[in-house]
Structure formats: C-alpha cells, structure tokens
Structure 1
C-alpha cells in the first residue's frame, strides 16, 4: 500500500506558502471562541471513560445503539478504516465523481474502483442506471458524500433511500461521508445508517462544529461493520485522547447550537455569492443546498489550475476542480467574512477577464 501525495493537502500548503490572505477554499465553520465553547483541560479522566462519554452522546443524538458506533480520528480515518476492513484487492468499489479526493484515493489503495458520475448538468444526482450496472458487475461498496463535496448538493431521502435499496439487492454496502449533512439549509436529510441495514454514515466535529483540532470522528452503521472498524482503530491507533473526546461529546450535545451558528453565517454570505453569479454570466453553478461551498463551472477552455494560480498572485485561494476529479471547475467556499468574499469573487472575474482575452 503506497499512497500518492494528497493533492488537496499539497494545494493547501502551496496556498499558505504563497501567502494567500483571502481563503475561498475553507469549507468548515470557523472555530468557536472560548466564550462560546470553552476548551478546558482539568479533570478529563482516562481515555476509556472519555470515549464512553462520547459514545453515550452519539447514542442520544442520533438514536443508535452503542454497538452501531465506531470512534475514529476524524471522518477521513473512518472512511479509510471502512475500506480497509470491507474490501479486498480483487473487490470493486464505486465512488462518486467528482468527490473529495482522499475518499477515492483510499478506495483505490485497497480495491478496484469505478466512477459513479454526479454531473452538474443533472444537479449532481447519481444516474441510477449507472449505479445498477456497477452493482450488477459485482461492486461491494458504493461511496458517496452528502452534502456533496464539492457542490453542496443534497441527496434527499427518496434518492438516497433508492440507492441504499438498490445496493441491498446485491448485498453491497453504501458508505456516505456526512460531514456536511447537518449543514443543510432546509430540513436535515436522513443519514445512510437510517435508511437500511447496509447504510453506513461517517461524520466528525470538523465541519459543522469548526473543531478540526480535536481530530474526532465516528462511523454509524450495522454492528458487524462498526465492530470491524472499531477493532481496526484500536489495533492501529488505540484510544482517542481524553481531552478530545470530552469536548467532542459536548459538541455533539450542543449540535443544534452549532447548526444554527453555521447556518446563520451561510445565510449572511450566500446572497453575495448569488449576486456575483447573476452578474458573472461566464460561469455556471448549481445553487448549493447547504454548507459553505459552491462548485463553479468555468468557461470552456479555461484551465482551473492556471486560474487558481493567477488568483494566488492576488492573495486569493480557491480549490482547483481537478483535485476533486473535475477539471475546468473550481470549488469556491464562503466561510470567510463577507467583505473578503466579495473581494475574492471580484478577483475571480478580473482573472477571467485576463484569461478570456488571452
């Protein structure tokens, strides 16, 4: 198993080294201040007790039994341990495209991978015939994100339930990375774990809560799946830090407060994005249904990496779409202050002027 360099992480480091001062490439909520969510160190107890507190919080929040939970060091860790414990080199996995690239790279390290297209022309809804063909050809796992990363599009309960049901007919598992699910602008869609015995959900305290430094995530799913992932975690990294678990448990208990906080900021900034999109007719974008991200389709012939580098010259960081498997696009996030967002989008238009003239 030899992982290639992570292009998204390489790009983040590159943006930092280039001195970007406006980030339109940060998709999570901001970290809460100490007056909103104090992080205390005293009387944390041992790791096993702290994990038990987090598990109890997850049981209450998501209506699951304890044996449906596996704790991990973030959602990415949960995705990887799931692939590691449920796929062999000869197995086939179906991974959405475009997607958060580490998910695809992880699956490629342990199995054969084919793509399930989520096209902006179809509002990022997976093609069910494409899915059925992949399942009939022996796919054992279907991997998705909900909300979709990079577009913020939502898989509603009916669509996702149809996917879970279709996979169940062939005995396949459906893994859904749901780090953005509770940031839906409307009613929160159901988790995959709620839709069938083959549905598996992954999440963390990184995006909704803005607590990425805790490095805490989890998997919710059928007990055999959760047991396998939990065992792999204990063998490879043992217990989570007590400090992280205690604060993650409190974040889970306060998840409605975190949701209201994130949505308030999204609703403050989304009108600015929509106004820019109305004026910037050279690009296309499906309106996000949640979170702080929009997937921008660039004019034909515009190179996403060149545009992104030109923006870095102006101190603005965006996500080149090729790093989600969608060249010719960018992911634009709007978790920054509105004043920075408006300046950053104006620079996108300025760079488009230069590239389309050239």
Structure 2
C-alpha cells in the first residue's frame, strides 16, 4: 500500500510503534567490550532468566528457564512452531480476519489454513472456534491472537479455558500470540496463562517495548513441547544476534520504566481518536451508519482501529477504496481483505506512529466519512 503513495501521504498502515524509548541510563546496554561470538543456541542465559522472570510476573508461575525459547522475533517463533507441529494435510485454525503470516506459515508446511470467525466486535468467539475444530478432525495447530491484529479484539478467561481444554483433549498444539498484551490503557487483557499451563505463549520486544528492529521474541511453554521447535530455530539462525540480546536484556531489566511509558504513549493516541474521531469509540467513524467499529469505552488496547467503510461503499470495493483514500485523501491504511476474506468492508488504521502524524491523518480521513 505504501508503494506509489503520494509523497505527502500520512502512513497509518504500518503496525509499528513510533514513540521514542525512555532516555534513562537503565535502558542502555552497559559500556565496554562487545562479545560477537555465536553464543549458545539457547541464547544468553541472563536473557533467558529475565524472560522467565517476566513471564512469571505476568502469571506464568510454572515457567522456568528451560521453558523459554528465545527467537529472532516472534515471527521466527511462529515459523519454528509451525514447522515442528503443522502436519502436511492437516488443518491449522487461525483467526479471520487475522495476522497475515498465519495462513502463509501453514501453507509452507503443506497444511491447510482454516480461518475461524471472530465475534462482531473482533473478540474471540469460542463457540465459532470450537465448531471449526470439530469440523476439521485432522487439526494439528490452533492459533489465538489477543489483543488481536488487525481488529484489536480481546478474549475472556472463560473463552480461553474452553479452547485450551478442547485442544488438550484432541492433542492439538495451542499457540497464543500475545505480542500486544502489554499495550493496554485501562486494564490488562486476559492471558492464556491465567487459565492453564498448556499451550505456548508468544511475546516480543517489537510492540510494547518499542524495539521491532532488535528482532527478539520468545515462546514459553512446556520444555518438551518447545524441544522440536528449538531444533528448527537452531537450523534457521543458530541464535539471535548477541547485540540484540544484550539490548533486549536491558529493556527487560527496565520494564518498570519502559512499559508504563509505552502505555502513556498509547493513551495519547487513543485520546486523539476520542478527540478527533469521537464516533469511532463505539460507533461508525465520524458517522451514524449501521456498521459499528469496535467499542473502546470498556478498554483501550493495542494500537489498531478496525474501521468500517463509509456507508454506501460496497465491501467488494475495499481495496479500491483504500487506494482512493491513499491517492486522493493522502492517507495510507490497510484494506481489511489483506487479513482474510472476513476483513472485507473494513480498513486497519494504525495508531502506533507519531501522534502528530496520527492527528493529521485522522483529520484527512474525516471528510470521507462525512460525505
């Protein structure tokens, strides 16, 4: 979508934090010599311990260092888990609309991606997922994503418990992608670890820690479950960059400073939406049509606005409208169809960039929904 955009277009499409890191000494790697050896396949023991401690602080009491797999971003964790568990000819259940990598990773394994529908507000619909699980008897892997990309949807502890029990009964690996879990304003969202020790939970430096370029992520779970995925990851990269691991350790050690600062930046962005696009907080963006955007009054999480098209625009023209908005309105968004067939009729607007860009982008969007 960014290729060919006007030079002065405001990009509200990229899902990347745009706020600066705190400048305190606590978040800077120590001075001194830099070790550029390969390092252990399991990564720096200090970083592994820090991630285990971080997971325990988030409720994963049973996670120890042997239950942490450090990877070259959460994307590498997904790839390794899919390669280890997504059997050729099996079904892989993933949200639709959902993160674009899930179906691609399934196909790379010879598996069939099956999109399960979400609730009307983008939240996990346990009934719909369980129906898909029953329909596809040969299912090897189920993926959850909450807070969700692109919808910003959440899930309840009860829904997580039902899905976890069903996957355990069928011996299906459950992967809970929670890379946006620390990006909340009002209250923290539910985690798979609130209800069960089974399955794998993903985390990352890329979102709330504001450091996507480090390419450091992790998976936590039963060491025996992680073992085959470790073999895949070792064959992929040997180990993540030593420099990135060092920076990630500094950020984790400064989590008490970094995460509250990220949430304050997030609050500024949702406040901008409330100020410049008040109808997006529970109703149609700057309009009164029958479709509704996800309500944020009960909890602002993540940095995506899942925006219905203006009234009168055919959902089949989602991509064409996004291109018009880019070329004529000079705002880049992502058409919902990029995230699955059920994304038709929506645009994903990223709130993650600089606040000034977001405010200008929202002003440019407004006339298209008032017309």
Normalising by the smaller structure, the TM-score range is 0.7 to 0.9
Q: How does 1:133-148 map to 2 (within 5 A)?
A: 133-135=132-134, 137-148=137-148
Alignment-derived partner of residue 14 in structure 2: 26
Alignment-derived partner of residue 7 in structure 1: none
**Do structure 1's residue 285 and structure 2's residue 298 form an aligned pair?**
no
Q: Deviations over 1:29-70 (max 9, x none)?
A: 335357244366742334427622210111111122111111
- After TM superposition, the runs of 4+ consecutive aligned structure 1 residues lying more than 6 A away are none
Does the 8 Å contact 2:199/2:221 carry over to 1? yes
Q: How many residues align?
A: 341
Range 282-291 or range 221-230, more displaced: 282-291
Shift of 1:150: 0.8
What root-mean-square deviation, in Å, do the aligned CA atoms of Structure 1 and Structure 2 show?
A: 2.4
Does the 8 Å contact 2:205/2:217 carry over to 1? yes
Distance 2:108 2:92 in 1: 11
Distance 1:42 1:315 in 2: 47
- Specify every segment of 5 or more residues in structure 2 that has no aligned partner in the other structure, as ranges: 57-62, 280-285
Query: Which SS does the other structure have where 1:48 is aligned?
Result: coil
Distance 2:314 2:29 in 1: 48
- Specify every segment of 5 or more residues in structure 1 that has no aligned partner in the other structure, as ranges: 1-10
Q: How does the TM-score come out when normalised to structure 1? A: 0.86
Alignment-derived partner of residue 43 in structure 1: 33
Shift of 1:315: 3.2
- Structure with more of its chain in helix, by fraction: 1
Alignment-derived partner of residue 307 in structure 1: 321
Alignment-derived partner of residue 8 in structure 1: none
Distance 2:197 2:350 in 1: 34
Distance 2:86 2:336 in 1: 28
Does the 8 Å contact 2:98/2:149 carry over to 1? yes
Does the 8 Å contact 1:31/1:211 carry over to 2? no
Alignment-derived partner of residue 306 in structure 2: 295
Does the 8 Å contact 1:172/1:198 carry over to 2? no
Q: How does the TM-score come out when normalised to structure 2? A: 0.83
Q: Deviations over 1:292-347 (max 9, x none)?
A: 11111213515222222223224322111111111211011222344432321232
Query: Which SS does the other structure have where 1:90 is aligned?
Result: coil
Distance 1:340 1:197 in 2: 41
